[in-house]
Structure 1
């Protein structure tokens, strides 16, 4: 299997508000960047969307090292919270709905196609790929076309 490094970031101007995601994919000497802006979304949705779009861009099953500055996502996967939410009909403790379940469902389906490992990186700490993803995400907010709406 190909070994891919997937760096991601999401951004939002207001929360909710206009937002965007940025992705840097690396395979050997190849680098691919993705980004898109949305007129109305949240930061967590953009963080999830970045990972989803990165995984969707892969044409075959791969070993994917995912790097994100979102503790929300990395902890939900690595501490297995998302699997508990899924098994509990997308309810968290005290029967509160799990937020962004539509995107979590997409992400879990994509994870079934790839071998994934999630790694947390500190945001805005000089990590080159994380900084590039942040730039892509924040630039996507300002550059048309903004997709109309992401909030479900």
Structure 2
């Protein structure tokens, strides 16, 4: 089973943003700290989820267990629907990626259980601020 932890963060709302992706495959893990454009926190969460799915495509024939502290992302995946029209444009890409996985599960977790992905998302913002 592959465990995928995702988090998006924004320094301001909107502001410089980052995605944190943590993929655990048994004793092996991959960590990604990805700078994003200026966007809201919700947009960063959706972007992080899409990037996380893309990073897991090589494992699409395995069980993927995704963990997020974003209730919006969790609800969007569970219902295959995004209530807020402002973010609805993310749904087609999410659905297209989700449909490629044999078994995909998502679970909402409290932020304190998502510390690695959160740290990676914040590092991505810091990298951008440091360049400026």
Shared fold by TM > 0.5? yes
- CA gap of 1:134–1:104, structure 2 versus 1, over 3 A, is same
* 2:12 match: secondary structure: coil
Residues 27-65 of structure 1, C-alpha deviation per residue, up to 9 Å, x if partnerless? 111100112112411111111111211111232423211
Residue pair 2:80, 2:95 contacting (<8 A) in 1 also: no
* 2:99 match: secondary structure: helix
Provide the TM-score with structure 1 as the length reference.
0.75
Correspondent of 2:107 among 119, 122, 130: 119
- CA gap of 1:68–1:14, structure 2 versus 1, over 3 A, is same
Following superposition, which runs of at least 4 residues in structure 1 exceed 4 angstroms of deviation? Answer: none
Structure whose alpha-carbon radius of gyration is higher: 1
Q: How do residues 1-152 of structure 1 correspond to structure 2 at under 5 angstroms?
A: 3-58=1-56, 59-61=58-60, 62-78=62-78, 80=79, 82=81, 92=83, 98-114=85-101, 115-123=103-111, 125=112, 127=113, 130-144=114-128
The whole-number CA distance in structure 1 between the counterparts of 2:80 and 2:90 is 15
The whole-number CA distance in structure 1 between the counterparts of 2:28 and 2:96 is 26
The whole-number CA distance in structure 2 between the counterparts of 1:113 and 1:81 is 15
The whole-number CA distance in structure 1 between the counterparts of 2:128 and 2:9 is 16
Unpaired runs of 5+ in structure 1? 86-91, 147-152
Provide the TM-score with structure 2 as the length reference.
0.86
* 1:99 match: secondary structure: helix
Bigger drift between 56-65 and 108-117 goes to 56-65
What is the CA distance between 1:118 and its match in structure 2?
1.0
